[in-house]
Homo-oligomer: A and B are copies of this chain.
Amino acid sequence: MPHNELRKDYLLDRWVVIAVERARRPTDFVKKEKTTVKADLCPLCPGNEHMTPPAILIYKEANGRIEKTKDEDGIRYSDWTVRCIPNLYPAFTPPTTKEKMGEKIFKRRNYALALGHHEVLVESPNHDEHPSEARISQLVHVINAYIDRLKWFSTKPYVRYVSIFRNHGYEAGASLSHAHGQIIATPMIPRLVKEELKASMKYWRQKGECVFCQIINEERQGPRVIAENSDYVAFAPYASVHPMEFWLMPKRHRSSMLLLTEAEIENFAKILKTCLSGLKILLNDPPYNYGFHMDIREKSTQHYHWHLEVYPKLAVWAGFEKNTGIYINTVQPEKAAESLREAIQNLKA
């Protein structure tokens, strides 16, 4: 019996067993039944804006241009293109005046107030305009809106990180099926980001280059590459924790999304749509989560490189994973990349 492989993440002290013997083909994961979220009345659809808190940011198209506005007290706009609203059940909430006046956020070593923000970005007036289906122009608005919120948050003294993520499908935690993403601003740098920042800083000090730039150079020529355009590479990471996991990385070194050019934003929308369409076709619209990784400081840093990580939700983390922090992945990343490349080829054909 051949041994399985243990692979370690590029940066994190995170090991994964890449199963050989119990290996499964990507198509073993094709969803047969769909768990759909009931939506007699979708609170995110146009016309139902009164079911949500007032929007903090609205993009409206007027004369072919985007105007930025927001809801006012008692007024809800319904002719929006994208719409960013506070989460009705926020995990993190903004400080009150008292806390702004200098009350400590971190009260004890192991206790703090969950200060910050928790917002929902409604990606389209069309209920089903998910990124795999979306018009590129619409996805560009979505990304621009994220960048606008990111800029706003990064000026707040109590915000240390901004997590931008998307839950797709009921099994991946989406409680509403309308196309939407979420933004959570936190008062600390989350552990996963801190570890990446630390490890990439160490690499940069030792080698004088960005470890992510190095990863991109290697992966784009290897068996795990999925798609590429002039600004981005999509690949299955060497030590993928999730079956069919893939990452999108900008070729040009940038620590955050704050300084992207218009062309770079459009190319990101394109490769995101391509990859998610491929995944959708291949596995019958599986649930997934994605999240952006970045250094949110406005001044660019040389050691960190923003990217997006996409985790299809095809397996259950059970006792072993939770007991050890070691993962078992039954799809080899090389096989995952091959299937996604083929699915994307079929899309184009």
Does A190 count as interface, using CB distance less than 8 angstroms? Answer: yes
Q: Is the pair A4, B319 in contact by a Cβ cutoff of 8 Å?
A: no
Contact with B along A15-37 (1 / 0, CB 8 A): 10101011000000000000000
Q: Is the pair B7, A111 in contact by a Cβ cutoff of 8 Å?
A: yes
Output the nearest chain B residue to A16 by Cβ-Cβ distance: B114
- What chain B residues lie within 8 Å of A316 (beta carbons)? 171-173
Min C-beta distance of A195 to chain B, whole Å: 8
The interface stretch among A180-188, A248-256, A274-282 is: A180-188
- What chain B residues lie within 8 Å of A43 (beta carbons)? none
Q: Is the pair A165, B239 in contact by a Cβ cutoff of 8 Å?
A: no
Cα–Cα distance between A10 and B173 once the two chains are bound (Å): 28
Min C-beta distance of A159 to chain B, whole Å: 13
The interface stretch among A57-65, A76-84, A89-97, A259-267 is: A89-97
Q: Is the pair B318, A3 in contact by a Cβ cutoff of 8 Å?
A: no
Does A14 count as interface, using CB distance less than 8 angstroms? Answer: yes
Contact with B along A298-318 (1 / 0, CB 8 A): 000000000001010000111
Output the nearest chain B residue to A118 by Cβ-Cβ distance: B320
- What chain B residues lie within 8 Å of A176 (beta carbons)? none
- Copies of this chain per assembly: 2
Min C-beta distance of A306 to chain B, whole Å: 13
Does A38 count as interface, using CB distance less than 8 angstroms? Answer: no
The interface stretch among A140-148, A228-236, A324-332, A337-345 is: A324-332
Does A246 count as interface, using CB distance less than 8 angstroms? Answer: no
Does A166 count as interface, using CB distance less than 8 angstroms? Answer: yes
Q: Is the pair B172, A109 in contact by a Cβ cutoff of 8 Å?
A: no
Q: Is the pair B3, A319 in contact by a Cβ cutoff of 8 Å?
A: no
Min C-beta distance of A21 to chain B, whole Å: 6
Q: Is the pair B7, A319 in contact by a Cβ cutoff of 8 Å?
A: no
- What chain B residues lie within 8 Å of A318 (beta carbons)? 165, 167, 172-174, 289
Does A104 count as interface, using CB distance less than 8 angstroms? Answer: no
- What chain B residues lie within 8 Å of A325 (beta carbons)? 190-192
| A positions within 8 Å CB-CB of B | 1, 3-10, 13-15, 17, 19, 21-22, 89-93, 109-115, 161, 163, 165-167, 171-174, 182, 184, 186-188, 190-193, 238-239, 289-293, 309, 311, 316-320, 322-326, 328
